[in-house]
Amino acid sequence: MGKCSGRCTLVAFCCLQLVAALERQIFDFLGYQWAPILANFLHIMAVILGIFGTVQYRSRYLILYAAWLVLWVGWNAFIICFYLEVGQLSQDRDFIMTFNTSLHRSWWMENGPGCLVTPVLNSHLALEDHHVISVTGCLLDYPYIEALSSALQIFLALFGFVFACYVSKVFLEEEDSFDFIGGFDSYGYQAPQKTSHLQLQPLYTSG
């Protein structure tokens, strides 16, 4: 019963992770955030691997899934620090999320709840093929939205890591018990075979 509960709970958390990752992938595509897009793709593949390992009783897949979750927590912690500009990180100077290929920001910058976008005409700050805008009236600024999204990912990843370790431990214990039951095979044990008492006698024919 405990094994079934752990498996069901892990599958449920994996499904939540999958939905959250797909939702995040859509908004990162809209904002041309290439680094998060790549990380989200790898995360989706790892979550699918975790679901497959849980359903098919593959402990190795769950171990890989748990190892990826450690990296995923670190990546989301970096995103939180980046958008909140912790330490020397600066959104105005570093364009890590776009691999320094464009000046695009988060999609939530212009489309956040209550945000009013006003183009700034004839601005000397505008680069070639770019325009300057003014965003006002946001109920929640986009750095905090991105930080909350990453915090949700960390929350789901931590619970997924705990249940992945638990379920993989159960699977490994079952594999060890099966090896113990079939341990006689490794010593070349063979079951006694029935011998036939029928003896063949030569047949003589008269010419």
Is residue 92 exposed (0-12), middle (13-18) or buried (19+ Cβ within 10 Å)?
exposed
- Write down the pLDDT at residue 2: 45
Annotated domain spans of the chain: 6-101+141-177
- Report in angstroms the alpha-carbon separations of 205 from 32, 88, 200, 202: 97, 108, 16, 10
pLDDT tens figures, 157-189: 999 999 999 999 888 887 766 555 554 444 444
Cα separation, 78 vs 6, in Å, equals 30
- Write down the pLDDT at residue 187: 44
- Write down the pLDDT at residue 57: 85
- Write down the pLDDT at residue 128: 52
CA nearest to 38, candidates 141, 93, 46, 143: 46
pLDDT tens figures, 132-144: 677 888 889 999 9
Name the pTM for this structure. 0.76
- Which residues of the chain have a pLDDT value below 70? 1-4, 92-94, 102-103, 120-132, 176-207
- Write down the pLDDT at residue 1: 44
**97's tokens:** 């999320």
Provide the total of helices (H) and of strands (E) in the chain, helices listed first: 5, 2
